[in-house]
Amino acid sequence: MSSIILGMHYDLGQRELYEDRVDVQTVQTAGGLQLAVALVADGVGGENKGERAAQLAKDGVISYLRQGQETNVPALLSQAVQYANQLIHQEVKDSGNASTTLALAVIAPGNTLFIANVGDSRIYLCRNNKLTQLTIDHNFATIMPWQNKLSPEVARQHPRADVLMRALGPKADVVVDTGFYVGTTDYRTAGERGLNGLPLKEGDAILVCSDGLIKLSPQTKQPYATEEEIVQVLTTQEGEKAARSLVSFALGRNADDNVSAGVLQMPDPSRHRRALAPLHRWGAIGLLAALVVIGLVSSSLNRQAATRIAAVEATAVSEQVTITAIAQMEQTTATALAQNQAAQATQSAATATAEAQVQAKDAQATQSAATATAEAAAEAQAQAAAEAAAEALCNSKEGYRYEVINGPVLNPPAPVTVNRNAPNPPSFSASWQLTIGGSCGWHNVRVRSANDNTLFAPLLEGNQQPPLVSVGETITLTIPFDSAEAARDSIEDSWTIILAVNDLELAVEVPLTIDNVEKWVT
């Protein structure tokens, strides 16, 4: 393995907590592999739970890599991510909802790149002054077409297109994506590429980052760090300096999220030359300016000396020898004076240039500070207003929606004839598959019968972490019936979903009924 250059940097951005985690280091595995590793985890969850999930992801992956005996790198990465997921799941399953993304890049012996990804943190390759995204975001717009539930066009235009669909922590098992998505969104094609890895070349650079670096600013609708800026940094700077510069771009534009960047770079001698090229250009310009000044001053003084010599020759030809000597002395004096004045002019020009640069830099810094202060205040006001609006929305019916995508499914299926003298009568239930819409997640779900106004908790399957059901999630809601008579009466009943938000009654789009079944129980 060549001498890989490593670097990382991070910042809170406009957040109060740092819920990202970033790590870049060389790892020696128990199986004999030396790996250059860069990873970023972006935690989600209140009360420091997202921060804890991201920390467990980072520590779990590094620990597993060190102890791993596996020499197949894609398999080793998948096992390490699964191990980290189990650590998070065990810790948070009883204490509340928390999760994290994870993007992991590894350069193995032979300078071959392998990656693993869960969520929407990203991995980029910078090669030949071009930036290429290697991972794909595991959001609604990506997963729905993979599951053949929506077309790519419909999924991209869906209101929940950016909702995260995969993360570490919510479930005991997680799908680890080791594919390279260059020119494709097909996970089979990308997965086959991932098995072989990507051979790296001299000058290649790998960037692993949280979405706080590259997502769009709400104000400008432009990325906090553009592709051109990322390429410029990775082709002229190295290691921690490069990572720090990338994070600085986002901070200079008041990034509203934590910003984390890890860098792995192949050696490149020309990277230093490209970094010094601007300085060399300015040095050449300064030297040319000094030479022009010297030439102008010398020319002027030489013309003055020549004029005086001509006047002396016209007055006294007989004193030619003396006059010639005097002229030579004057010429020598004029040349010396010209050189002295040129040196002074060069020094004055250099001093003036330096002072101008300092003044310009001070002015720019003052303006930037004022702009940053104003923008930060505006951003804080906008964020406070947005949070207030979101809270108000989640305290009203308008924040909650769902769509019935399948059901009711009756158990046992209709029709059923019940032998009331049988020692073990069957149990009855009705189930619906729901996709959660609106803007707010569901807490403490209950259903209320229209027949007798009974309020009770249904059975929920498929949700990430009780009692919270996230927007964009698909769950199965089951209503059990304690007798054949109750199941028979349910044909004329309907159920309203109630949430534990000021005991709000959800404004249903499709009521939960089974009145489309003529006879279920006889």
pLDDT band at 411 (very low <50, low <70, confident <90, very high): confident
Better-predicted residue by pLDDT, 369 or 404: 404
In this predicted structure, what is the pLDDT of residue 268? 94
**What residues are paired with 431 via a beta bridge?**
409, 478
What number is the average pLDDT over the span 80-93?
Answer: 94
Q: Which of 510, 485, 497 is nearest to 450 (CA)?
A: 497
User: pLDDT tens digit string along 483-517?
Assistant: 777 777 777 777 788 776 655 666 555 678 886 56
User: Residues 188-224, buried b or exposed e (16+ Cβ, 10 A)?
Assistant: eebeebbeebbebeebbbbbbbbbbbbbeeeeeeebb
How many CA within 13 A on the CB side of residue 110? Answer: 9
The answer to whether 116 and 138 are in contact (CB under 8 A) is no
Listing DSSP states for 285-313 in one string gives HHHHHHHHHHHHHHHHHHHHHHHHHHHHH
Nearest to 190, CA basis, from 171, 203, 175: 175
pLDDT, residue 353, reads 54
Q: Give the separation between CA 217 and CA 382, rounded to whole angstroms.
A: 13
Q: How many Å apart are CA 261 and CA 207, to the nearest integer?
A: 7
Instruction: Give the DSSP letter of residue 516.
Output: T
User: In this structure, what are the phi and psi dihedrals at residue 261, rounded to the nearest 5 degrees?
Assistant: -145, 135
Reduced to 3 states (helix: H, G, I; strand: E, B; else coil), residue 504 is coil
pLDDT at 132 over 90: yes
Instruction: Look at residue 164 and tell me whether its pLDDT is greater than 80.
Output: yes
CATH level 3 topology of 5-267: Phosphatase 2c; domain 1 (3.60.40)
Helix (H) or strand (E) holding 346: helix 320-394
Per the listing, tokens 């799908």 go with 175
* Residue in the block written with tokens 């158990």: 411
Residue 496: the pLDDT is 80
DSSP 349-398: HHHHHHHHHHHHHHHHHHHHHHHHHHHHHHHHHHHHHHHHHHHHHHTSGG
Backbone φ, ψ for residue 434 (5° rounding): -120, 140
Instruction: Please give the pLDDT value at position 252.
Output: 94
Position 280 confidence tier, pLDDT thresholds 50, 70, 90: very low
Cα–Cα distance between 44 and 341 in angstroms, integer?
68
Predicted pLDDT at 138: 97
**What's the pLDDT score for residue 130?**
98
Residue 440 to residue 506: CA distance in whole angstroms: 12
Q: Residue for token digits 């106004």? A: 453
- Reading the block at residue 297, the tokens are 């001053």
Q: Which of 115, 98, 96 is nearest to 39 (CA)?
A: 115
- How many angstroms separate the CA atoms of 377 and 219, rounded? 13
Domain ranges of the chain: 5-267, 274-393, 397-513
Which among 189, 274, 186 is positioned nearest to 233, based on CA atoms?
274
**Average pLDDT over the chain, rounded to an integer:** 79
In this prediction, residue 480 carries a pLDDT of 86
Q: What is the pLDDT of residue 431?
A: 86
Q: Please indicate whether the domains covering 5-267 and 397-513 agree at the CATH topology level.
A: no
Rounded to the nearest 5 degrees, what angle is found at the Cα of 312, between the Cα atoms of 310 and 316? Answer: 125
Of the listed ranges 105-109, 298-302, 350-354, 469-473, the one predicted with least confidence: 298-302
Contact 36/1 with Cβ under 8 angstroms? Answer: yes
0.75 exceeded by pTM:
no
Q: What is the pLDDT of residues 174-185, one digit of tens each?
A: 999 999 999 999
Joined together, the tokens standing for residue 422 give: 């049988």
Task: Give CA–CA dist 408/433, Å, rounded.
Answer: 8
| CATH (one of 1.10.287, 2.60.40, 3.30.420, 2.60.120) for 397-513 | 2.60.40
Mean pLDDT of 169-173: 93
- Let me know: does 105 contact 208? Beta carbons within 8 Å: yes
The pLDDT tens digits for 140-158 are 999 999 999 999 999 999 9
Residue with the larger pLDDT of the pair 50 and 390: 50
pLDDT (0 to 100) of residue 98: 86
CA distances from 145 to 118, 135, 148, 181 (A): 17, 17, 5, 15
Are 164 and 100 within 8 A, CB to CB?
no
Other beta carbons less than 10 A from residue 63's beta carbon: 15
Quick one: pLDDT band at residue 355, thresholds 50, 70, 90? low
Q: For the chain, give the percent of residues with pLDDT over 70.
A: 69
Chain centroid, CA 304 distance in Å = 69
pLDDT of residue 176: 98
Confidence at residue 495, expressed as pLDDT on a 0 to 100 scale = 75
Number of Cα atoms under 13 Å in the Cβ half of residue 346: 18
pLDDT tens-digit map of 193-247: 999 999 999 999 999 999 999 999 999 999 999 999 999 999 999 999 999 999 9
Comparing CA positions, the residue from 42, 79, 47, 74 lying closest to residue 60 is: 79
Q: Does 328 have pLDDT greater than 60?
A: no
